Amino acid sequence: MPFPLDLYQTMVGKKWVMALTGVGLLGFVLVHMIGNLHLYEGPVEIHEYAEALRDLGGHIIPRTYLLWAMRLGLIAMFALHIHSAVSLSRASALSSGTARQKYQGGQDYVAVNFASRTMRWTGPIILLYIVFHLADLTWGNRSDDWVRGDPYHNVVISMGNVGVAAIYILANVVLAVHIFHGVYSMFQSLGVNNPKINGIRRPLATGLAALILVGNLSFPLMVQFGLIDEDNCEAPCGLTGAAEAHAEEAAQ
């Protein structure tokens, strides 16, 4: 393959790709969680947030074009992350124990090996969770009560089901474990081995995993506890509330 694509044919190149796509995916997960916090503001706010995403680019480019470009970039990162991870896992299985020990370069071999074995399980689980999440809240394939363009209503209906809420809770625990081990081993994959940086690896990995875990777990839990509900609005809740808000703005 021509440069720089030939770098991906090497083990070091695959490690860099896995680490950098991991950083990109982590950024998406963090921003996605922060955006979903609009649920606590109410149906109008989360609806307007969703509309703002579709209107990215303003009047310069057609509606949803930039959003779809971001989605395609995200899909590409997912594909490269999965492919590089699978390739490295196969190479690791074929290599000898001595070769793996040599690669560690004095790092915590037990911790890294545990992270590697854990990632082989958490990765496929997260992939299945993503498919379920899209079918549940984006495509609306799982419920007849799903309403296009009304995220507040769809979240309440979906996570109001105890079984679905349990799936989200368990999947996000697995996601947090994956993030912890991914961030912890990211520096090693990038070839960064500095005593000052090594000291912050575990706190950074723990902090990011905990932040995302608490934020994502709050949504199914708050719906189950009745703190996020549709008691004070008509269905479809978000669409009705947004229409009323826009009508008030037009009247002023």
| Tens digits of residue pLDDT in 136-183 | 999 998 888 899 889 999 999 999 999 999 999 999 999 999 999 999
3-state secondary structure the chain: CCCCHHHHHCHHHHHHHHHHHHHHHHHHHHHHHHHHHHHHCCHHHHHHHHHHHHCCCCCCCCCCHHHHHHHHHHHHHHHHHHHHHHHHHHHHHHCCHHHHHHHHCCCCHHHHHHHHHHHHHHHHHHHHHHHHHHHHHHCCCCCCCCCCCCHHHHHHHHHCCHHHHHHHHHHHHHHHHHHHHHHHHHHHHCCCCCHHHHHHHHHHHHHHHHHHHHHHHHHHHHHHCCCCCCCCCCCCHHHHHHHHHHHHHHHC
For residues 42 and 152, the answer to whether their CB atoms sit within 8 Å is yes
What total number of domains does the chain contain?
A: 1
- Has residue 249 got a pLDDT over 60? no
pLDDT, residue 198, reads: 80
CATH number at residue 166: 1.20.1300
For residues 38 and 49, the answer to whether their CB atoms sit within 8 Å is yes
Tens of pLDDT along 93-118?
776 554 444 444 444 555 555 656 77
Of all residues in the chain, the percent with pLDDT exceeding 70 is 83
What is the domain range of residue 172? 5-251
Model pTM? 0.83
